[in-house]
Structure 1
């Protein structure tokens, strides 16, 4: 994480999908263990999936993200930058120090993202 980040106080924390959260009504893009515009993680799309397999994986990623957001001691750290959709870029850190993105990657619900990455979730 390198940069000093601000810990956000979210009274309501929800999963929008596998890599987007909503903190008190504001959508935010989670970076996992990544750094803005350099690295991060990607999950399948719930909106406009390319196949049924992608939709099912997307639903599973969202459900798992919601479970992770509900674990005691979870922190949302604001990096201070936004993505191309003007969503704040954040890190979601679990009480054991792991990022939620690393958990989703380990469980096969997400993939490492880097510039040039092209998502394809259909077999």
Structure 2
């Protein structure tokens, strides 16, 4: 009797565990669009926005632009990377100046408290593409990032 009860409990837990993971993975993506307003440009691939999630409800969240990597401003590995990071942030800020924002294809980020999304403005369907065209960002598809510093 005890073995039967334990078997039922284990099977029930396995069943619910499998389906809760499936539900979580679907809940980890939001097609959007979600309206947002710019709070700050952190660097060439990350912004802080106030996303309007419900009537008179909004949250402040970091958004990484989907599919790109820009030079690091906070921990540059060389002087050249820092200079490129400053240019990249300034260029992204110019693209966002006085623009309405919409977030689409929103996914949970690698780091808690941040999302990855396609960011659109009145002037652009995809800011990531604009940053790539500028040369101040690179295509990024997970994994190790390439250095922005020239080899010595």
If the TM-score is normalised by the length of the shorter chain, which range does it land in? 0.7 to 0.9
User: How many Å separate the matches in 1 of 2:105 and 2:141?
Assistant: 20
1:28 aligns with 2:72: no
Name the structure 2 match of 1:42: 69
State the 1:83 CA deviation. 1.3
State the 1:118 CA deviation. 2.5
1:77 aligns with 2:104: yes
- Judged with a 3 Å threshold, the aligned counterparts in structure 2 of structure 1 residues 22 and 74 are, in CA distance, closer, same or farther, namely same
State the 1:78 CA deviation. 5.3
Alignment TM-score, normalising by the size of structure 2 = 0.64
- Between the two structures, name the one with larger relative contact order (CA 8 Å, sep ≥ 6): 1
Q: Which runs of 5+ in 2 are unaligned?
A: 1-28, 51-59
Q: 1:92 aligns with which of 119, 123, 134?
A: 119
User: How many Å separate the matches in 2 of 1:61 and 1:30?
Assistant: 13
> Aligned pairs, how many?
112
State the 1:13 CA deviation. 3.4
RMSD: 2.1
Higher helix share: 2
Name the structure 2 match of 1:107: 134
Runs of 4+ deviating beyond 4 Å: none
Contact kept? 2:30, 2:104, Cα under 8 Å: no
Name the structure 2 match of 1:52: 79
Alignment TM-score, normalising by the size of structure 1 = 0.77
Instruction: String of CA shifts for 1:5-63, please: whole Å, max 9, x gaps.
Output: 222232443211111110123212110xxxxxxxx110000011000000011111111
State the 1:93 CA deviation. 1.5
